């Protein structure tokens, strides 16, 4: 199959492209390169441009008439930045997604897999969430993911489209063959910060927020290897017809996580175990948009697409460290 990936030059989009290729499919990448990397598009069908550009999308489909599905990854993703600059997030993540869906319908692409987020969930007593758990997005970033889900659901009902929203938990690691990974030298996510401190680019790792109602006071997350995440997308597009024979509507939601909650203190302990050294750390206040967290009940993904996360948190940490050492040989300054 030939699959369109918006944001295909990004961390997750490029890993999905690799997983599709390894499974015998052909990814077609669309990326503005505002955040994505040209290095991740090598030897792939690639179009540089905006996801809301109707003429470009029409060209892509006229030149690739056998595209059967679109995977929509393109988005701004920094929670703290979304708090400070909500306009950019609603414009880029919501308004442009609406144009994309309208244009996909116009070119006859009815199958969409959407990169959503577990940040849409409300806090629950035991931190484990199912797809039917209460929602309460608490940052502009999270709100954009929720809004796009609503838009997609309505498009599916109105226009005969079919969509799967994959609610990611916390991706870590890199492509298994080290073809791509986190490209920022100083990333904002927790494991990236740990790697930066361990390798001397930052002085201290800050554990932001230690008074959450968790077992040790730090936030709880579900850290999923990005390769497991990518494989879930492959299974979603391969099983999209089967999925909608099993559900009673044209819009489905799946959690993508390991089913294991790990606190930040526990992540630091695992990192030091894998790295073999202690990292300098300190307690800090929670950041704007931070939440206590959650972990996934991913049984629906197992039922509908036969997917379960396989890789451990130690493997994710080891691959993140390995990628960081290789990144400068792959990513141009």
| Element containing residue 279 per DSSP (H, E) | none
Per-residue CA distances from 202 to 67, 191, 298, 331 (Å): 43, 13, 35, 20
Closest CA to 76 of 126, 15, 117: 117
Q: Phi/psi of residue 285, each to 5°?
A: -70, 155
Query: How far is it, in rounded angstroms, from Cα 243 to Cα 308?
Result: 16
Q: Which of 47, 141, 146, 168 is catalytic?
A: 141
Burial of 118 from C-beta contacts in 10 A (0-12 / 13-18 / 19+) = buried
141 is annotated as an active-site residue: yes
Per-residue CA distances from 173 to 245, 277, 298, 308, 317 (Å): 34, 19, 20, 17, 6
Q: What is the DSSP letter of 39?
A: G
- Give the pair of three-digit tokens for residue 275: 């790295």
Do residues 51 and 8 touch, judged by C-beta distance below 8 A? no
Query: How far is it, in rounded angstroms, from Cα 202 to Cα 122?
Result: 32
Do residues 27 and 19 touch, judged by C-beta distance below 8 A? no
Q: How far is CA 239 from the centre of its chain?
A: 20
How many residues are recorded in the chain?
A: 333
Would you tell me how many other CB atoms lie within 10 Å of the CB of residue 39? 15
SS3 235: helix
Q: How many helices (H) does the chain have, and how many strands (E)?
A: 12, 15
SS3 188: coil
- Strand partners of residue 121: 135
Do residues 17 and 27 touch, judged by C-beta distance below 8 A? yes
Active-site amino acid positions: 141
């Amino acid at each position: 199959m030939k699959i369109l990936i918006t944001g295909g030059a990004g961390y997750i989009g490029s890993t999905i492209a690799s997983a599709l290729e390894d499974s015998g499919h052909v990814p077609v990448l669309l990326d503005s390169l505002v955040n994505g990397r040209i290095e991740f598009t090598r030897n792939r069908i690639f179009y540089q441009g905006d996801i809301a550009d109707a003429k470009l999308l029409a060209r892509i489909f006229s030149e690739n008439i056998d595209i059967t599905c679109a995977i929509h990854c393109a988005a701004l993703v920094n929670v703290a930045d979304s708090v400070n600059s909500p306009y950019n997030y609603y414009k880029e993540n919501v308004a442009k997604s609406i144009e994309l869906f309208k244009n996909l319908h116009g070119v006859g692409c009815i199958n969409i897999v959407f990169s959503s987020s577990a940040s849409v969930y409300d806090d629950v007593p035991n931190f484990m969430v199912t797809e039917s758990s209460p929602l309460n997005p608490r940052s502009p970033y999270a709100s954009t993911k929720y809004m796009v889900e609503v838009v997609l659901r309505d498009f599916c009902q109105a226009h005969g489209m079919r969509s799967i929203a994959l609610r990611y938990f916390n991706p870590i690691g890199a492509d298994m063959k080290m073809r791509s990974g986190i490209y920022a030298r100083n990333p904002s996510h927790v494991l990236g910060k740990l790697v930066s401190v361990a390798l001397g680019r930052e002085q201290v790792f800050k554990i932001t927020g230690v008074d959450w109602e968790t077992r040790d006071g730090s936030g709880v997350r579900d850290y999923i290897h990005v390769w497991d995440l990518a494989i879930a997308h492959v299974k979603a597009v391969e099983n999209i017809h089967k999925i909608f024979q099993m559900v009673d509507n044209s819009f489905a939601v799946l959690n993508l996580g390991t089913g294991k909650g790990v606190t930040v203190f526990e992540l630091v302990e695992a990192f030091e175990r894998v790295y073999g050294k202690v990292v300098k750390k300190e307690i800090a206040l929670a950041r704007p948009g931070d939440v206590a967290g959650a972990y996934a009940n991913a049984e629906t993904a197992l039922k509908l697409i036969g997917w379960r996360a396989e890789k451990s948190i130690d493997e994710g940490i080891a691959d993140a460290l390995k990628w960081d050492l290789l990144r400068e040989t792959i990513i141009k300054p």
